[in-house]
């Protein structure tokens, strides 16, 4: 009798685990079709590299209702100014919004996904966004790769210093 109770408990546990896996898969499949995982670019057709200039956006689901988003805009010589965003953002339909306040100003970056494109609009100054001089991440980004990104756009973020938590 003891063995059958044990077997019943194990069987119920397995059913619960399989059900949880199916639920997670069903929830993940509810992400909008227009939000596509991958690497996007504006001002370039090249994937990000240490010597390239342009703007890149990396996106992947973080949870059922949020995305991890990383943006890097690198401007060419002579200035070599950078703009970097790395955040977990709540997903609302086909859009996410990044917000921060800095240097007495407000910054908002709106990202709307539409097929193989992401439309990005920046409201607020480069300084309020924490970017280098004249950096604006606005533009239409085309998807260059569909695979899940490694989120290593910003080499300064990969230093040995402790990383702050994602917003």
Indicate whether 66 pLDDT > 80. yes
Q: What is the pTM of this model?
A: 0.72
Q: Are residues 128 and 100 in the same domain?
A: yes
123: number of Cβ within 10 Å: 14
Question: Each residue of 38-58: pLDDT tens digit?
Answer: 999 998 888 887 778 899 999
Q: Are residues 3 and 21 in the same domain?
A: yes
Q: Are residues 25 and 49 in the same domain?
A: no
How many folded domains does the chain comprise?
2
Q: Are residues 23 and 75 in the same domain?
A: no
Question: Each residue of 18-41: pLDDT tens digit?
Answer: 554 444 444 544 554 447 899 999
Among 93, 115, 92, 128, which residue's Cα sits nearest to residue 40?
115
Higher pLDDT: 121 or 155? It is 121
């Amino acid at each position: 009798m003891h063995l059958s109770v044990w077997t019943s408990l194990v069987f119920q546990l397995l059913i619960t685990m399989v059900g949880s896996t199916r639920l997670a898969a069903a929830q993940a499949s509810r992400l909008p079709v227009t939000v596509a995982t991958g690497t996007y670019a504006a001002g370039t057709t090249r994937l990000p590299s240490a010597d390239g200039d342009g703007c890149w956006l990396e996106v992947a689901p973080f949870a059922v209702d949020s995305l991890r988003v990383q943006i890097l805009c690198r401007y060419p010589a002579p200035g070599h100014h950078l703009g970097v965003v790395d955040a977990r953002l709540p997903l609302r339909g086909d859009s996410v919004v990044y917000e921060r306040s800095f240097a007495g100003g407000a910054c908002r970056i709106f990202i709307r996904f539409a097929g193989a494109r992401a439309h990005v609009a920046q409201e607020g100054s480069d300084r309020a966004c924490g970017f280098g001089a004249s950096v604006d991440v606005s533009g239409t980004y085309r998807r260059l790769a569909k695979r899940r990104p490694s989120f290593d756009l910003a080499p300064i973020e990969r230093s040995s210093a402790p990383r702050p938590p994602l917003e």
